[in-house]
Chain A
Amino acid sequence: MTTWRGAVGVPAARVEGPAKVSGRAGYAYDRPVADPAYAFPVQATIARGRVVSIDSAAAAAVEGVLAVVTHRDAARLADTEDAELAVLQSDAVGFRGQFVGVVIAETPQAARHAAGLVRVEYEQRPHDTELRADRPGLYAPEQVNGGFVTDTDEGDVDTALEAAAVSVDRVYTTPMEFNNPMEPHSSVAVWDPGEWDAGGGFAEDARLTLFDSTQGPHVVRSTLARVFGLPPERVRVISPYVGGGFGSKGMPHAHNVLAVVAARAVPGRPVKLALTRQQMFALAGHRTPTIQRVRLGAGEDGRLTAVAHEVVEHTSAIKEFAEQTAVGARMMYAAPNRRTSHRLAVLDVPVPSWMRAPGEAPGFFALEVAMDELAQACGLDPIELRARNDPEVDPESGRPWSGRHLVRCLREGAVRFGWAERTAPGTRLVGRELVGLGVAASTYPYYRFPGSRAVVAYEGGGRYTVRIGAADIGTGAWTALTQIAADALGCPLRAVRVEIGDSDLPAATVAGGSSGTTSWGSAVVAACRAFRHVYGEQPPAGAEAGADMPDDPDVERFAMHSFGAQFAEVRVDADTGEVRVSRMLGVFSVGRVVNPRTARSQFIGGMTMGLSMALHERGVLDHRTGHVINHDFAEYHIATHADVVDVDAVWLDEEDVHTGPLGARGIGEIGIVGAPAAIANAVHNATGVRVRDLPITPDVLLR
């Protein structure tokens, strides 16, 4: 057993902080490479059809242009199974904004200018980008994201709903949302040697290095190796610093392939590619819009008899992604009869993907507003309603919880937040503002992905290096892993240096599913123990030992989830309907917190993103053109500082003895879950108006 000797649990400052604030941290695009060329994509201006002709003469004539590559002359890829990544392999256009070419030039300006001169003619086919619940052709995917089954049906939901003394039957919607991080997606591709054999094939020993901005260097490596037909050991992905990801850098996207294809077109030249903000709206993934019908049946006392959560959402024509929106309803409340389903519309839209808390984030908007509606219908306090429906064991698996402290979070939050001040809906007018309080529950599963390995080396002089190909996307992983290693080795924090963000390091799983600290951390603990086991406390310089992340048998025996309570106070301008969130509080139960400082920033960051989802974010698809028309940060609103007045997060002091050596469950995503519902519920409390469609903009509340 590792004893936590003082590094874990301490609010250590970010180890990479000084490098970041002093500008020494090398982000992908800024990497100095010899003699770089610059790529700028040409994007489809139709949503469906095919490219008929491309006139690149004017582009090629621009001074400094080195090459214009299209599907006619792009390098053939070894594996085109993943259509998102089959870049420039055919004339087909599957969504507006898809790559149809790339210009490579001596400067980024020349590349961009020339890209605008490439004339592409299309044979346009009718496209369809509009999600509706009543559209024909909705289908059930084989499974939904995370490997969950698509539908569940327990008991007899219809009968229970019919017999229910109190019921709620409502439709909730969330729009297309975008997780554009601060740092745009960028890749620098370097081939070595830079020359090809006469047939355009790889040299025997060709190696590819990609400086990238990714949540998982090893995933990018294995994917690119497959796509380009290279052995993985000849691909190296380097990504030590990442300016945010929120899921959008969780898997490789088309731009990674495009950078490599572009570099093949200019032998001997590394190629730099950074997406523009506008391009990211078509090429970096997004959250599907959702249409969610929630039905709740309960007795007069509020005890649930039935929960049905049925979701309609979209996927792209070229690649399936099925957000697991209704999965949370399977385990959240103790209703004997439960039904969940996911139906997808195949649309001619960009490829949806992971966005912070895929599934739970949109799903808990619907479920938790519905619970508020049920509380109102039963005349119960919403906290009391949730307490009455808190299940003893996981309703889905029947397993005991590894630790379910939702009710504690709710009750503790109620005291801290001043929940008792809440008045009846629409009754609290302060000046010209209607004030209201709202609450919602939050949860996120404990994920721990196998496949990580850590290696510990003793450098002499009391210094250790820990190597693992993990990624710190701003989460604090770098610091947390240093703390974990220090305690596991029994040495001071400053004696440990962690190396991450490079696929030449021991393999690590992706920074996703809030799994990083627990998965990588378990591997680090195992490696440190292995090291001490072999070398004891007095290792020779150069000593090295490694270990894989150990299995956790408790995963099969317990239901493991984090929980939280989200509180919001809103002020709604009685004249204009403008909503301001004056206070937010999250109380979380997440197992052990490795670093309170970085954890707090994860929580309040998630809650802020939830605020943004509640009030601001909406991608507007123009169905005539098939593209998101508000594709920049002036028009696609995310919360600004002025919108985020007072956001606070606290957590229960606990450890989850079933989640491996750390006793932690992961914290990256739970902060967003439930936050939009808490705000929507507060808006109802303030105004008496129930808003079921996000975002809640002033016009909706205007009187």
Chain B
Amino acid sequence: MTPFEYLRAEDPAEAVAAVAGRPGAAFLGGGTNLVDHMKLGVAGPDLLVDVSRLPLDRVEETADGLRIGAAVRNSDLAAHPLVRERYPVLARALLSGASGQLRNVATTAGNLLQRTRCPYFQDVTTPCNKRVPGSGCSAIGGYTRYHAILGASEHCVATHPSDMAVAMVALDAVVVVLGPGGARTLPLAELYRLPGDAPERDTVLEHGDLITAVELPHLPFARRSAYRKVRDRASFSFALVSVAAALDLDGGRVRDVRLALGGVAHRPWRAARAEEELRGGPATEDAFRRAAEAELIAARPLPGNAFKVAMTRNAVVATLRALAEEGR
């Protein structure tokens, strides 16, 4: 671990200034991802600006929905009555992630910005374009069980590991950012990048950009929503694939739907194509399957993860089926 300095910021503006003014500085949330990376040599910040104790730790009801402070702990967010009532998909996604101990520490912003679990990324003895641009991608031709089937590039086939973010992307969440140039908002779906030829950049954020909150718009039908995570063991493992879905039924037809996929791409994958296919159509198992297949036409699996195509399809069908049954 490279020696570093530590600063506990008193307010967001101070935090932004401290990081923006120093190329080697980084924000510290719960540290469950960043500190691991420091130990592994993946990250070597020379200054940590602790933002976990900023007054950004509230979940508030607003005129448009819910505003979640960046420092709200994952476990607090999952347990929040309004989240459980109005956005069960989010509560379930959070609870399916990591472990109780980690969720007690992990923050909302840190969760969004956690980095890929690609084992080559985490092992500094192997080449990795995301860690060292231009060094090559070890996953290609290697171990790809947890890697992408959608939207990858020849430079990087990593997946984004967050469960929470998949639910938030399904819910059209908006991220509030405070940068050196002031505050701005952007849809969460647009925060994340596909790897393209610059996989070292996970997001569109610039150095010094601080996430201060996430806003969830009203979505009444999200009261009937679910998160389905398919994994290699019953808990404490990342998704092979996951599905976040909310379903609005009108008799036997789909009035509206939100669908996002995890474990399949460099970012939480909003399944827009499948949603389009579903809207206005019958709420039947066949229709669910056709919609999933339409989304997965674009899938380009790797030798080690071809199973993910069928697994994603089945998980989508199972999730929508369960929601439809719940609605009857």
Binding site for B on A (CB under 8 A): 45, 109, 112-113, 116, 432, 575-578, 580, 615-616, 620, 622, 624-625, 627, 629-632, 634-635, 637, 639-643, 697-699, 702-703
| B2 CB contacts on chain A under 8 angstroms | 113
The residues in B between 295 and 321 inclusive whose CB is less than 8 angstroms from any CB of A are 307, 310-311, 314-315, 317-318
* Contact between chains at A630 and B307 (CB < 8 Å): no
Contact between A624 and B142, CB atoms less than 8 A apart:
yes
Determine, out of B52-60, B230-238, B258-266, the stretch whose residues face the partner at the interface.
B230-238
Q: Are B117 and A635 in contact (CB under 8 A)?
A: yes
CA distance in complex: A200, B315 (Å): 67
B328 to chain A, nearest CB (A): 16
Q: Which of B1, B119, B122, B240 has the most CB atoms of chain A within a 10 A radius of its CB?
A: B119
Chain B 271-291 interface residues, beta-carbon cutoff 8 Å to A: none
**Docked-complex contact B3 and A113, CB < 8 angstroms:** yes
A575-B314, A629-B120, A634-B117 given; A642·B234 CB < 8 A:
yes
B310 in contact with A643 (CB, 8 Å): no
Task: Assess the B233–A699 pair: CB atoms within 8 A.
Answer: no
Near A by CB (< 8 A), chain B positions 102-131 give 117, 119-120, 122-126
Contact A622 B232 (CB under 8 A): no
List chain B residues, Cβ under 8 A from A635: 117, 119
In the bound complex, CA of A616 to CA of B3 (Å): 37
Residues in chain A near residue B318, CB distance under 8 A: 432, 575-576
Chain B 143-159, CB-CB to A under 8 Å as 1, else 0, gives 10000000000000000
A635 to B122 alpha-carbon distance, docked (Å): 11
**B94: min CB distance to chain A, Å:** 16
Q: How far is the CA of A703 from the CA of B234 in the complex (A)?
A: 20
| Contact A637–B119 (Cβ < 8 Å) | no
Distance between Cα atoms of A627 and B125 in the complex (Å):
10
Contact of B233 among A575, A616, A624, A625 (CB under 8 A): A616
Minimum CB–CB distance for B313 against chain A, Å: 10
Q: Does the CB pair A637–B232 fall under 8 Å?
A: yes
CA gap between A632 and B315 in the complex, in Å: 28
**Are the CB atoms of B311 and A698 closer together than 8 Å?**
yes
**A578→B230 contact, CB < 8 A:** yes
| Complex interface: chain A residues within 8 A of B230 (CB) | 576, 578, 698
Is there contact, CB below 8 Å, between A639 and B117?
Answer: no
* Assembled-state Cα–Cα distance A631/B119 (Å): 8
For residue B141, CB closer than 8 A to chain A, the reply is yes
CB of A577 within 8 A of CB of B311, answer yes
Contact between chains at B232 and A625 (CB < 8 Å): no
Q: For the complex, what is the distance from the CA of A627 to the CA of B315, rounded to whole Å?
A: 33
A576-B315, A577-B311 known; A620-B143 Cβ under 8 A: yes
* Contact in complex: B123, A575 (CB < 8 Å): no
B119 near A630 with CB under 8 A, answer: yes
Q: Which residues of A contact B307 (CB under 8 A)?
A: 699, 702
- In the bound complex, residues from chain B placing their C-beta under 8 Å from that of A624 are 138, 141-142
CA A634 – CA B119 in complex, angstroms? 10
In the complex the two chains form, is A698's CB within 8 Å of B232's CB?
Answer: yes
Q: Taking the complex as formed, is B81 at the interface, i.e. its CB lies under 8 A from any CB of chain A? A: no
Main secondary structure of the interface of A (DSSP, over half): loop
Interface residues on B, range: 20 to 34
- Expressed in whole angstroms, the Cα–Cα distance for A635 and B142 within the complex equals 15
Instruction: For A702, give its contact among B39, B41, B311 (CB under 8 Å).
Output: B311
Extra inter-chain contacts (4) besides given A580-B234, A629-B142, A631-B123, CB under 8 Å: A112-B39, A576-B314, A625-B125, A643-B235
| 25 examples of A-B residue contacts, CB within 8 angstroms | A109-B3, A112-B1, A112-B39, A113-B2, A575-B317, A575-B318, A576-B314, A576-B315, A578-B231, A622-B142, A629-B126, A634-B238, A637-B232, A637-B237, A640-B234, A640-B237, A642-B235, A643-B233, A643-B234, A697-B232, A698-B230, A699-B307, A702-B310, A702-B314, A703-B310
Complex CA distance for A575 and B232, rounded to whole angstroms: 14
Q: How far is the CB of B206 from chain A (nearest CB, A)?
A: 29
Q: Which of chain A's residues have a CB closer than 8 A to the CB of B315? A: 575-576
Q: Please measure, in the bound complex, the distance between the C-alpha atom of A432 and the C-alpha atom of B311, giving whole angstroms.
A: 15
Instruction: Specify which chain B residues have a CB less than 8 angstroms from the CB of A643 in the assembled complex.
Output: 233-235
Q: How far is the CA of A113 from the CA of B2 in the complex (A)?
A: 6
CB of B311 within 8 A of CB of A576, answer yes
Chain A residue, CB-CB nearest to B310: A702
Contacts of B126 in A (CB 8 A): 622, 625, 629
* A residues near B119, Cβ cutoff 8 Å: 629-631, 635
| Chain B residues near A641 (CB-CB < 8 A) | 235
4 smallest CB-CB distances across A and B, nearest first, come from: A699-B307, A642-B234, A642-B235, A575-B318
Closest to B141 in A: A624
Contacts of A615 in B (CB 8 A): 233
Distance A634 CA – B240 CA, assembled complex (angstroms) = 13
Q: Which residue of chain B lies nearest to A639 when distances are taken between CB atoms in the complex?
A: B233
Instruction: Closest A residue to B315 by CB, please name it.
Output: A576
Q: Is the beta-carbon distance between A640 and B235 smaller than 8 angstroms? A: yes
For A699, the chain B residues whose CB sits under 8 A away are 240, 307, 311
- Measured in the bound complex, the distance between the Cα atoms of B230 and A640 in whole Å is 15
**Alpha-carbon distance A640/B235, docked complex (angstroms):** 7
Q: Which residue of A lies closest to B311 (CB)?
A: A702
Q: How far is the CA of A575 from the CA of B228 in the complex (A)?
A: 11
The interface residues of chain A lying within 8 Å CB-to-CB of B235 are: 640-643
Q: Which residue of B lies closest to A113 (CB)?
A: B1
Identity of the chain A residue whose Cβ is nearest the Cβ of B126 in the assembled complex: A625
Query: Complex Cα distance A627/B237, Å?
Result: 22
Q: How far is the CB of B303 from chain A (nearest CB, A)?
A: 13
Residues of B within 8 A of A640 (CB): 233-237
Q: Is the CB of B240 within 8 A of A698?
A: yes
Q: How far is the CA of A615 from the CA of B240 in the complex (A)?
A: 15
B241, chain A: closest CB distance, angstroms? 9
A116 to B119, CA, bound (A): 18
Q: Across the interface, which residues of B come within 8 angstroms of A576, CB to CB? A: 230, 311, 314-315, 318
Interchain nearest-CB distance for B26 vs A (Å): 17
Is there an interface contact between B311 and A637, defined as CB atoms closer than 8 Å? no
How far in angstroms is the closest Cβ of chain A from B7? 19
A698–B141 Cα distance when bound, in Å, is: 22
Chain B residue with Cβ nearest A635: B119
Let me know if A109 and B1 touch, CB within 8 A. yes
Closest to B307 in A: A699
B122 surroundings in chain A (CB, below 8 A): 632
B71-124 contacts to A (CB < 8 Å): 117, 119-120, 122-124
Distance between Cα atoms of A575 and B241 in the complex (Å): 13
* Closest beta carbon of chain B to A691's beta carbon, Å: 14
Tell me the complex Cα distance, A649–B168, Å: 44
When chains A and B are docked, how far (Å) is the Cα of A634 from the Cα of B3?
Answer: 26
Q: Please give, as numbers and ranges, the residues of chain B lying within 8 Å of A703 by CB-CB distance.
A: 310, 314
- Closest beta carbon of chain B to A559's beta carbon, Å: 39
Closest chain B residue to A112, Cβ basis: B1
Q: Which residues of A contact B120 (CB under 8 A)?
A: 629
A195 to B120, CA, bound (A): 44
Distance in Å from the Cβ of A683 to the closest Cβ of chain B? 15
CB contacts (< 8 Å) of A622 on chain B: these are: 126, 138, 142-143
Contacts of B232 in A (CB 8 A): 616, 637, 697-698
Q: Min CB distance, B38 to chain A, in Å? A: 10
Chain B residues within an 8 Å CB radius of A580: 234
Whole-angstrom CA separation of A631 from B125 in the bound complex = 13
Best-surrounded residue of A641, A642, A702 (most CB of chain B within 10 A)? A702
Chain A residues with Cβ below 8 Å from B238 are: 634
Distance in Å from the Cβ of A180 to the closest Cβ of chain B? 15
Using CB atoms, name the residue of chain B closest to A625.
B126
B6 to chain A, nearest CB (A): 14
Task: Tell me the nearest residue of chain A to B123, going by C-beta.
Answer: A629
Closest Cβ of chain B: how far from A575's Cβ, in Å? 4
Given the complex, which residues of A lie within 8 Å of B3, measured CB to CB? Answer: 109, 113
Residue of B nearest to A637 (CB): B233
Cβ–Cβ < 8 Å partners of B141 in chain A: 624
Complex CA distance for A576 and B317, rounded to whole angstroms: 10
CB distance from A676 to the nearest CB of B (A): 15
Complex alpha-carbon distance, A183 and B3, angstroms: 27
Chain A residues in 8 Å Cβ range of B124:
116
Chain A hits for B233, CB < 8 A: 615-616, 637, 639-640, 642-643
